[in-house]
Structure 1
């Protein structure tokens, strides 16, 4: 990957993650639906250095120093990595001529990360099966990740318009 492509992927990943976070903020303000506290992601990552990958209830685990910053940085890094994998799969030319369907498919596929990795590690069970309303949690995760996919398309489109 050349440096211009790396910058483009970075900007699309950050832009798409910003769209996802704007959706989460709007959902919280309009409907009172809380989003993931990324400090918990930082807490999970912080406890990994002690060999602890899975917790019964992450919210009850001892906080780690800098967990909020660590969680938010990881959240944006994951968005960039997903876009990097996507571009490696579909080809860099997609960034100059983005189409919506592949970006939405990325969003749909990316929901596997919280369902299969994060939720079990946080003590929620595989695909949130241990929470009171698992289908609601799954649907919200899917919608949020489809919004991420829409953000990938929007950020790539803005980049293409700006001059690819």
Structure 2
């Protein structure tokens, strides 16, 4: 299997792990699940030149916004899986050490903190939410789940033959 496909599968596996983590947290803590409709609504505005909103909830509904949000969620995961292998090199798959993958996954939260969250009106790193530090810590935990999912796929699939 080629490294691009492996990277895409890693991204899918990481995203699935992140979604499982969200379900576990909902059951344990009552934390609401991510609103992929709002993400889809935001993503539909970006090509129109509107990246930052005061409140994405006040923006007009977009047809299929939830499906768009899910597609963005998994598309970004796939891009991150491939990007990690571009940075680390396909040779990383031979030993598939967790630490570089985890560091990469933690760094990817910057896109959420400094693009997506302010774009939807939540402020830089969720600063306009009721409990910004809780949102940040939960994001770091979710990105750790993402790393674990990507790592599990890398260990399962292995280096391209």
Q: TM-score, normalised by structure 1?
A: 0.91
8 Å contact 2:13–2:150 — kept in the other structure?
yes
For the aligned residues, what is the CA RMSD?
1.6
The match for 2:41 is: 43
Query: 1:46-65 CA distances to partner (integer Å, 9 max, x unpaired)?
Result: 12233221111112221101
Q: Greater RCO between the two (CA within 8 Å, min separation 6)?
A: 2
Shift, 1:66, TM fit: 1.1
Q: 1:150 aligns with which of 137, 148, 151?
A: 148
Match of 2:25, SS state, is helix
The structural deviation recorded for 1:157 is: 0.8
Superposition deviation, residue 97 in structure 1: 2.2
Describe the superposition over 1:22-77 as per-residue Cα deviations: whole angstroms up to 9, x where unpaired.
Answer: 11111112221113211111101112233221111112221101111111111111
Specify the alignment match of 1:134 in structure 2. 132
Kept in 2, the 8 Å contact 1:17–1:76? The answer is: yes
1:20 — aligned with what?
Answer: 18
Aligned with residue 104 of structure 2, among 89, 95, 106: 106
CA–CA distance in 1 between the matches of 2:74 and 2:95?
A: 24
**CA distance, structure 1, for counterparts of residue 51 and residue 69 of structure 2:** 15
Number of aligned positions between the proteins = 161
Take 1:128 and 1:7, find their aligned partners in 2: how far apart are those partners?
33
Can you give the 5+ residue segments of structure 1 that lack an aligned partner in the other structure? none
SS in 1 for 2:95: coil
Contact 1:107 1:147 (8 Å CA) reproduced: no
Distance 2:133 2:26 in 1: 19
Which residue of the partner structure matches residue 90 of structure 2? 92
Q: Distance in 2 between matches of 1:84 and 1:49?
A: 24
**Equivalent residues of 1:8, 1:159 under 8 A apart:** yes
Q: CA deviation at 1:136?
A: 0.8
> 2:59 corresponds to which residue?
61
Measure how far apart 1:152 and its partner are.
Answer: 1.3
Task: Tell me, yes or no, if structure 1 residue 124 matches structure 2 residue 122.
Answer: yes
